[in-house]
């Protein structure tokens, strides 16, 4: 992304797939993520695993932070919402990341058995950066 996006500016169309470099070998493949290869430098890495059948994760938007989601194992769906447009995408390959900029509501669901969702975040954890109430999210997105 070339321009700095704000909470009110972002749209579902700003969500982008990113290619994860892979070295292929007869002994197995190696995917790698290097500092500087993505639209932002990540400061926090975490992963979701052992998700019970039917569980949903996410259910929030960020005010200042961007994220990249990668299905390092299994698959899941990501519901994206900018308070006007909605889109669902499926992640099922460790060779693709989904870059979600600030101001996009996301919910993650339909986790396959043994799936792992790796998340690279643009900053350290701050509860103040989360919008966890959908009505508040819509109100903030639509403020003039």
What's the CA gap between 118 and 69, in Å, rounded?
6
Q: 10 Å Cβ neighbour count for 87? A: 14
Q: Which of 8, 44, 56, 60 is catalytic?
A: 60
What's the CA gap between 88 and 65, in Å, rounded?
21
Per the annotation, the verdict on 60 as an active-site residue is yes
- Percent of residues in the chain assigned helix, strand, coil, to nearest 5: 10, 40, 50
Q: Are 61 and 105 in contact (CB under 8 A)?
A: yes
Strand order in the sheet with 116-121: 16-19, 96-100, 67-73, 116-121, 44-48
Size of the chain in residues: 144
For the annotated catalytic residues, the residue numbers are 60
């Amino acid at each position: 992304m070339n321009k700095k996006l704000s909470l009110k500016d972002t749209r579902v169309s700003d969500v982008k797939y990113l290619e994860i470099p892979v070295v292929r070998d007869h002994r197995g493949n190696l995917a790698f993520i290097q500092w500087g290869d993505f639209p932002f430098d990540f400061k926090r890495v975490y992963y979701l695993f052992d998700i019970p059948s039917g569980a949903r994760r996410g259910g929030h938007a960020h005010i200042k932070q961007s994220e990249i989601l990668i299905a390092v194992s299994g698959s899941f769906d990501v519901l994206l919402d900018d308070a006007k447009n909605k889109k669902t995408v499926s992640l099922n390959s460790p060779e693709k990341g989904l870059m979600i900029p600030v101001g996009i509501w996301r919910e993650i669901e339909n986790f396959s058995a043994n799936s792992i969702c790796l998340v690279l975040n643009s900053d350290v954890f701050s509860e103040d950066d989360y919008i966890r109430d959908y009505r508040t999210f819509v109100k903030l997105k639509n403020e003039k």
